[in-house]
A and B are shown apart, each in its own frame.
Chain A
Amino acid sequence: MFRKSYNPHSYWNTVWREFNKHRLSLFALIVIIVLGLIALLAPFIANDIPILLYKGGQLYIFPNVITYSDLQAENLYANFDRWQPSDGDWMVKPPIPHGPFRQNLEHSLQSPNRIHWLGTDDRGRDVLSRMIWGSRLSLSVGFVAVGIAVIIGIVLGSLAGYFGKWVDTLVLRFIELMLVIPTFFLIITVMAFLPPSIWTIMIVIGLTGWPGVARLVRGEFLKQRQMEYVLASQALGLNNTRIMFRHILPNAMGPVFVSATFGLAGAILMESGLSFLGFGVPPPAPSWGELLKQSQGYVDFAWWLVLFPGLAIFITVTAFNLVGEGLRDAMDPRLR
């Protein structure tokens, strides 16, 4: 009696199958997943606080993420780099035994060596450790900023596409206005006046990133609103909010995901750019853009401060763009 077997998620299954055919995008997705894991596990990968500590006959599990009051009392957390285990004591350190904030001015601006694999910055902090912790910042700025942009874009885009007429005109003018203003300069200007913090950056990037999403959602709504299932819902007396968000939106989300993926790349690049120019996250927070900035202004050009953070930015941004492209192709119109 039925044409296909029962499968509620067939749409996403098809998208996933198509996506799998793009080897490069699949590889990029793996890169992003690895990056996400690195960000998530940063305290276990790059830290001078040990993962396990046996001291004075007591075993401390994960002191790198748990603050033990007796260790705190000894002021050990701030001095783990100098702590030497006495008889019977031992510790397991993360593979990169440098904290992202640990300064050592005597070791400043070292080029890559045995101890500091990717060198040190101007305060003697380990570059690799700061880059690993910096991935947390980049990714969280990316996701939160894009989250804000997507929500604003969905609300404005669906209102414009569904109601049309003057609502549409108003939203379109607003979008055009946003597109005319060079976002980067707008953000720099705003950042110059606001207290610098990671939240300010997320919000400002998010507030300027919605026009693309809004335009896409508007276009999808314009298309869907003519569909007979929408007319049927109207005839059945369902209210507009329900029709917009319960009926049309799920059918319009495909392009939003694609645009959000590209948006992530843009937001990460934006954060690095801002930090590079000194409008970013305030020090001492580790950021890829901030490492890049340090490479300048020294007589001896600190190439490791350009190359490694630059590569990290490049790889991340490229990976998100590749996933976006793969997703876009996988969701090709013939599925809708």
Chain B
Amino acid sequence: MNGKEPYLKVDNLTKYYPVGGGLFTKARGYVRAVDHVSFNVYPGETVSLVGESGSGKTTVARLILRLVEPTEGSIVFNGVDLTTLKSGELRNIRRKIQIIFQDPYSSLNPRMTVYSMLAEVLLVHRIISREKITEHIEYLLQLVGLNTDAMYRYPHEFSGGQRQRIGIARALAVNPSLLVADEPVSALDVSVQAQILNLLMELQEKLHLTYLIISHDLGVVRHISDRVLVMYLGKIVEEAPTDILFDSPNHPYTKALLSAIPKPDPSATLPKLLAQGEPPSPVNPPPGCSFHPRCPYATEQCKNETPPLFRISETHRSACWVFANTPEKTTV
């Protein structure tokens, strides 16, 4: 990874949503959905973004796809800054980045057959000539493991897993090189989850794709990712290669997430380690380290000063005053 140019370079990416106030009245405050987030994704790797609900993961995905306007920051993809592009130029480049959504029920237009859905993008972007279109749609469906007779059916005729495959086929139709998957399996039955994850890994190999995978489930992440970014209240609090993150996590929040893995009940995300359960509101984030109200190790400094992302090693970064800023970095 080192020495290579990043394929996607996200720099100080920020999205504040105004709350209260209308078009002519001033907002009463801001939801800091994404707050100065920076990270790189290198060609061919799989990076995961994990965090609790409301930490801003979906907003990051939508910012990268330019479905949401950033408040601040830049997104450089393959050397081109997407945030400064005009809509015309954007349309051609954004095709290279595609997204897979969480909800396989709302991500497909209920009034369109699989054929018309796929044919539309293929024709609009002149990816294939009209005569070869059926053949190409068959190829795409086979690629994602569906029967070719799925083509003339409507979304409601499929199961969740099959719909997710259709969503993947649609994303692949425009020949993307970076795939952002926002909780691609969290809406699916456990038995189907593994199938979809395996499909994603097969496709990565076959089509040389780069992945940014968003998940709140560290079990999913461990299985497929090369590196992990941990997000909390709009900020990245830890970044490390998957093995390192799971073997020697640094940030207390990461540790809390890890200790929650074996729990089958997904609602019990933050057990034992943490006294208070609920994450604070992103409208008025606590001063200092935003995790301090829930952190058993919090000091005076944590309450007043926002920690930067400290470098623990070449590949490992963590935003913690207590564990990352001290000389003995290998605590735990």
Contact = CB atoms under 8 A, between A and B. Distances in A.
Nearest to B173: A236
Interface residues of A, number: 28
B130 interface: no
B174 A237 contact: yes
B170 A232 contact: yes
Interface in B154-172: 154, 156-159, 162, 167, 170-171
Given A235-B94, A237-B94, A3 B157 contact: yes
A298 interface: no
A228 B106 contact: yes
Interface stretch (A4-12, A30-38, A101-109): A4-12
B124 to A, nearest CB: 6
Given A234-B67, A235-B98, A236-B174, A251 B109 contact: yes
Contacts of A23: none
Contacts of A238: 120-121, 124
A227 interface: yes
A55 interface: no
A185 interface: no
A67 interface: no
B303 interface: no
A229 B23 contact: no
Contacts of B136: none
B152 A6 contact: yes
A165 B95 contact: no
A11 B157 CA distance: 12
A232 B120 CA distance: 13
A118 B82 CA distance: 75
Contacts of B267: none
Contacts of B121: 236-238
A8 B109 CA distance: 13
A169 interface: yes
A251 B154 CA distance: 14
Nearest to A172: B23
Nearest to B124: A238
A232 B107 contact: yes
B107 A236 contact: no
Contacts of A166: 23
B306 to A, nearest CB: 32
Interface string A1-33: 111101010110000000000000000000000
B152 to A, nearest CB: 7
Nearest to A232: B107
Contact of B106 (A227, A233, A237, A247): A227
Interface in A118-143: none
A250 interface: yes
A179 interface: no
Given A165-B23, A235-B65, A235-B94, A229 B157 contact: no
Nearest to A5: B157
Contact of B92 (A2, A228, A233, A237): A237
Given A237-B91, A238-B120, A232 B156 contact: no
Contacts of B91: 237, 239
Given A8-B113, A235-B94, A235-B99, A229 B108 contact: yes
A231 interface: yes
B87 to A, nearest CB: 9
B103 interface: yes
Given A1-B147, A235-B65, A237-B174, A229 B106 contact: yes
B14 to A, nearest CB: 20
Contact of A10 (B92, B97, B156): B156
A237 B95 contact: yes
B110 A251 contact: yes
Interface in A233-273: 233-239, 242, 246-247, 250-251
Contacts of B156: 3-4, 10
B95 to A, nearest CB: 5
Interface string B260-276: 00000000000000000
Counting chain B CB atoms within 10 Å of each CB, which of A2, A242, A250, A251 scores highest? Answer: A2
A229 B124 contact: no
Interface in A153-172: 165-166, 169
A232 B157 contact: no
Contact of A231 (B101, B120, B147, B158): B101
Contact of B99 (A11, A232, A237): A232
B185 to A, nearest CB: 15
B150 to A, nearest CB: 8
Counting chain A CB atoms within 10 Å of each CB, which of B62, B110, B167, B170 scores highest? Answer: B110
Contact of B153 (A2, A165, A169, A227): A2
A112 B108 CA distance: 62
Given A6-B153, A232-B99, A250-B111, A169 B92 contact: no
Nearest to B90: A237
Contacts of B98: 235-236
A228 B107 contact: yes
B125 interface: yes
10 contacts: A2-B157, A11-B111, A228-B102, A228-B106, A228-B107, A229-B106, A232-B170, A234-B65, A242-B124, A246-B120
Closest 6 CB pairs of A and B: A228-B107, A228-B101, A237-B91, A229-B109, A250-B111, A228-B106
Interface of B: 23, 62, 65, 67, 91-92, 94-95, 97-99, 101-103, 106-113, 120-121, 124-125, 147, 152-154, 156-159, 162, 167, 170-171, 173-174
Given A229-B107, A237-B94, A237-B174, 10 more contacts: A2-B157, A10-B154, A227-B107, A229-B106, A233-B109, A235-B97, A236-B98, A236-B174, A237-B92, A247-B112
